[in-house]
Amino acid sequence: MIYFSLAIGLILVIFLSFTTFGLWTKYTNTKMIKGFLLPGTIVHELSHALLCLITGTTIKELNLFTSNSTGIKYDKPKIPFLFDFIITVAPILGCAFFIVFISKMLSNPIHLNNTFPKEIHFTFKGFFDLIQHLLDTVWVTLNSFKNQLHIENIRHIFFVLAIIVFTVSMAPHKQDIKHLVLGFSIISLILFFVEKTDVRLLKYKSWNYFIQELWVITTLTISILATMLFITLTIMGFIKGYRLTFGHKGSSK
């Protein structure tokens, strides 16, 4: 059931990053936010571009450093949906790679649990058990991160900033969400039925390592994005409450 857990987790990443990025760019200084997220934006767009080249999709425009806009435009892929999914999922994997890479470069400042979910029956109750396990893992990840974080350590500060930049930069464009959600769902179903035919992919070290790293980065990303979204909504609530309370009083004579 690890594949269903990953699919649900990655779908949560899609919506959390999309919502957080949307709120940041709508209600804050757009230039400041774009400047802060620039490293993640570059990785995001170059990941699209790389997969466009691999799939033979023509790139019409690629902007990374222009002041008015950043982004990529490309022609319709040769194989609809399959290449659409591959191109749209690239930034998530690209940003995840850089989080893992930076963590390795900093000698893994935060150690996280990479235990897979236990076997859960493919039933209605099993689905909710799966959701519960994912939420528990996210909570454990957040607590582990909080307990091991030393704000006075420059490596930890740099790692936190990098995580925030690259997790928020995973945010897909609105039109890409349908390809991502459907794609992750189909892949998880395929891998589930492959496992049911007694083809144990996890016995291969390279595949097991990849899934473990993806599981860790998924739960970490959900933890960070959920925290950032909560903080963002709380600040927005206080600001709106302040304006409603004092704004009207100041305007009335």
The pair of three-digit structure tokens given for residue 21, joined into one six-digit string:
């990025």
Q: Is the overall model pTM greater than 0.85, yes or no? A: no
**Is the distance from CB of 44 to CB of 95 less than 8 angstroms?**
yes
Convert the pLDDT of each residue in 26-41 to its tens digit: 888 778 888 899 999 9
Say yes or no to pLDDT of 251 above 50. Answer: no
Cα distance between residue 52 and residue 45, in whole Å: 11
DSSP state of 70: -
More confident residue, 55 or 201: 55
Q: Which candidate, 6, 4, 23, places its Cα nearest to that of 225? A: 23
Convert the pLDDT of each residue in 176-186 to its tens digit: 999 999 999 99
* Alpha-carbon distances of 10 from 131, 177, 214, 225, rounded to whole Å: 13, 11, 9, 12
Q: Which residues contact 46 (CB under 8 A, 6 or more apart)?
A: 64, 94
Residue 238 is predicted with a pLDDT of 87
Enumerate the domain spans of the chain: 2-233
Strand partners, 59: 74
122 CB neighbour count, 10 Å cutoff: 12
Convert the pLDDT of each residue in 78-118 to its tens digit: 898 999 999 999 999 999 999 989 988 888 777 766 565 55
Cα distance between residue 78 and residue 114, in whole Å: 37
**Is the distance from CB of 131 to CB of 8 less than 8 angstroms?**
yes
More confident residue, 124 or 23: 23
The pair of three-digit structure tokens given for residue 202, joined into one six-digit string:
């996890």
Over pLDDT 90: what percentage of the chain? 32
Q: Rounded to 5 degrees, what angle do the CA atoms 102, 117, 182 make?
A: 75
Highest mean pLDDT among 87-96, 203-212, 240-249: 87-96
* Rounded mean pLDDT, 119-138: 64
Residue 244 is predicted with a pLDDT of 83
